[in-house]
Amino acid sequence: RNAGMNPTAGPSTFGAGSSSAAAMSPADQAKDESNLVASKLFTFDKESLQKVRNAKAWMSDPKYFKKVKVSGVAAMKMMNHAVSGVEKGMKSPGGKPVEVMGLMLGRPHLENHDTLIVTDVFPLPVEGAETRVLADDQEVLNYMIDLGESLEKTRQERFMGWYHSHPFDVDVYSHCFLSGTDVATQLQWQRSEDRNGNPWLAIVVDPLRSLAKGRPELGAFRVYPPDYTAPSNETPDGQIVTDDKIRMERWGSCWNRYHALDVSFFFSKLSSDSLSIVSQNVLWMNALTSTSALEPENRDRLAERILAVSNKLQADGSTSLKGQKLNSRILGFLSSTSTAEEMGATKNDRLPGSSLEKFSRNSTELSVEQCQSLSAQLTKYLLFCSQQE
């Protein structure tokens, strides 16, 4: 409004629609256009969507879908649900985080046919142990039926997938993978839904790693049909890895039975504008007034992570490389009869893929996190406290 009335702006700035464009920088205009495009993902033509569902192109190609677009609201709801499971589990007598589960609402993309869209998620009253999350209780099934019936009256999308958390201790690799139980569950859903024009998706959230890294850690997956044989040594992300130990550590024991999809996030224009207002008015203060690594909960978690690395390292044992037989637990793909000299190793070498290399990477990540936190805290001190003293 002010830009349209600015006498120095020239006559071209007057008129509806042109004043806001003149006041916006090229970066803001690009962002606004991107938000408008993202907003269109929340709407769709029913007839066009039905044609995509009727075609069922994904039935003939196990790797038909390559990408997933997750709305910001859906991502935040998944993260909040997963973190609530961690907090609830830590307060329980056992003191261990619990897995949680929910359903996702969405559809296939009408233009980019290799893309799925997740617009919203709904938590389920399901909690699981460290190795499995099941929704086979009659009360839970009734809840899912009632939820589906209520959404049919208010939403045009369908349930198109499920999500659950893997609240395991922070490690070198992310815990976003499918376990044997997850693969069986996803396969059952895909067999039921894919043939009915509703491609089914699985998302796994790693809440502890998300808290430690300060960013959402989640992975999206679909499983292969039982009669499909994946390329030899191909991991879910499409890479060729010959070391079975590394494959299992990163992707679980069923690493060759599913594939990963690229995940990106989108916001509607209203959500983006609201988030910008909150960031400008509130969130910037949090960055100056608090340091997440110094909070009591994070300090306790850091001590536990350091102790876990130390215990694993002690359990694995220390082996001098020079002149000694190489321990297969340390050196992974090497046989226990190989010597360091035969492999060209020196006293200070850490062979790739070894347990010692993994411990080193884990320790490095912990050190980097602490250095970043302490550097931020020191910067705040120099800016706000040093002159007063």
Per-position DSSP letters for 261-282, written without gaps between them: EEEEEE--HHHHHHHHHHIIII
Task: Annotate 58-110 with three-state secondary structure.
Answer: HHHCCCCCCEEEEEHHHHHHHHHHHHHHHHHHHHCCCCCCCEEEEEEEEEECC
**pLDDT greater than 50 at residue 22:** no
Percent above pLDDT 70 for the chain: 67
Contact by Cβ (8 Å): 93, 144: no
Digit-coded pLDDT (tens) for 257-305: 999 999 999 887 777 667 677 666 666 666 666 666 666 666 666 777 7
Contact by Cβ (8 Å): 200, 193: yes
Q: What is the pLDDT of residue 127?
A: 76
Q: How many CA atoms lie within 13 A of 120 on its CB side?
A: 10
Digit-coded pLDDT (tens) for 2-21: 444 343 444 333 334 444 44
Q: What does the alpha-carbon distance between residue 63 and residue 66 come to, in Å, rounded to a whole number?
A: 7
pTM for this prediction? 0.70
Q: What is the chain's length? A: 389
Q: What does the alpha-carbon distance between residue 35 and residue 272 come to, in Å, rounded to a whole number?
A: 7
| 3-state DSSP assignment of residue 177 | coil
Q: What does the alpha-carbon distance between residue 302 and residue 369 come to, in Å, rounded to a whole number?
A: 10
Digit-coded pLDDT (tens) for 343-362: 344 444 444 455 667 667 77
Going by C-alpha positions, the residue among 361, 243, 367, 345 that lies closest to residue 313 is 361
Digit-coded pLDDT (tens) for 167-176: 988 877 889 9
Residue 152: CB atoms within 10 Å = 10
Q: What is the pLDDT of residue 286?
A: 65
Q: What is the pLDDT of residue 152?
A: 85
